[in-house]
Structure 1
């Protein structure tokens, strides 16, 4: 059977180096990838699932925040990704949000962001590294816990914003040691998880690969018009 097709949004500035890494992770998980970016055609109807990737800060215009002069924004990409998340939910296509993508998942579903997350969570250690030097605590009885268990997880960190108020139908599935939200997930189909870290850089870690596998599994279920969350749970038990 043909591998599920995953649409991946990237920055037009840095996507040339990030997309091959995303595509590699998706291939390892049993899928195949197509790159999307602002200014180019992107249609949820043509894929089985989507990844909203990392990049610049999200404009506060989308959630009623204030403009921070130091922020680097990409309004075209904001508009593209918000529309893609809306369409994904409408057409029940699974979503994996990575860093900025997790924030966009939350904002598109009506949530808000802390623009200076480390100013709010002063007990959270600020770092910018693709190395797994940050510890996150996974909430029990969540989908993320089913995929990766509840042992403390070492991840990387490149963000300054973070989820504040949750969007509709979402719950928190991980926080860092200072209490800052590090992962969110939808309670019902379509399957959706948002991660504040970058699992694409941690492909050597089984727990990180399981996140891409879950998306691809959900995408395969969607293609077959089958329930996604039960399919992911069954695949996790077999794995």
Structure 2
């Protein structure tokens, strides 16, 4: 069972929770059972859920509040403070329990922020790479350059992939517990992993859940779910 956080559908429908079904398909096709947790869940309830699941998926969404890394709100920043509170609590619980964590897009960013890193709040348009693509998300628009000694390189059996992109924020300073393992051709952080090789923590700035027909991206979800299954097995022996 893998906890998945739900954010509000901002700015258009703030009373509606949202989650792209591609996350559900990616998890279930790898053998997982997604368990949704919603904003408004307090810390005690979040901890209760985290103690009963085997992994945490942090999906895409709006922007983390910059107060967590000591900045004022940029005019282009869109914030869901209840989601921030939920995910900060869920990440703390996952860290305490040692469970696997996968962060996608915003999920990569809030993971970095929760562990002590910072973000670039807004990428101005017109750079060498369009990080907010106009094409459908199953289209690949820029390079992912992967470190050869990373989990992503082992899973994809590649040092260079083409990926999609739909973000206007990016990691500025990585948290001490994370290391950068993937960058775009304009040298922005596109992937991080746990600095401790024994921990399964991966954050990606792109959207692999939209590319699971490709082996390299399917392998990321398969490995995540397999790691969650191993974690579940160890809980019975603790």
TM-score range, shorter chain: 0.7 to 0.9
Name the CA shift for 1:68/1:8 in 2 (closer, same or farther; >3 Å). same
- Match for residue 148 of structure 2? 140
TM-score, normalized by length of structure 2?
A: 0.86
Please list every run of 5 or more consecutive structure 2 residues that lacks an aligned counterpart in the other structure.
10-15
TM-score, normalized by length of structure 1?
A: 0.86
Name the CA shift for 1:195/1:118 in 2 (closer, same or farther; >3 Å). farther
Alpha-carbon shift at residue 122 of structure 1 (Å)? 4.2
Alpha-carbon shift at residue 165 of structure 1 (Å)? 0.8
- Match for residue 39 of structure 2? 38
Q: Tell me if the contact between 1:6 and 1:34 (Cα under 8 Å) persists in the aligned partners.
A: yes
Alpha-carbon shift at residue 93 of structure 1 (Å)? 0.9
Distance 2:147 2:182 in 1: 5
Distance 2:199 2:62 in 1: 26
| Aligned partner of 1:114 among 115, 120, 130 | 120
Report runs of 4+ in structure 1 exceeding 6 Å deviation: none
Report Cα offsets for 1:62-109 as digits up to 9, x if no partner: 111221122110011001101111110110110000000001111111
Name the CA shift for 1:161/1:15 in 2 (closer, same or farther; >3 Å). same
Structural mapping, 1:71-150, within 5 Å:
71-118=77-124, 122-128=127-133, 129=135, 130=137, 131-150=139-158
Q: Which has the higher helix share?
A: 1
Aligned residue pairs total: 220
- Is 1:224 matched up with 2:233? yes
Considering only aligned residues, what root-mean-square deviation do their CA atoms show, in Å?
1.9
Q: Tell me if the contact between 2:27 and 2:225 (Cα under 8 Å) persists in the aligned partners.
A: yes
Please list every run of 5 or more consecutive structure 1 residues that lacks an aligned counterpart in the other structure.
227-239
Distance 2:37 2:8 in 1: 9
Q: Tell me if the contact between 2:145 and 2:161 (Cα under 8 Å) persists in the aligned partners.
A: yes
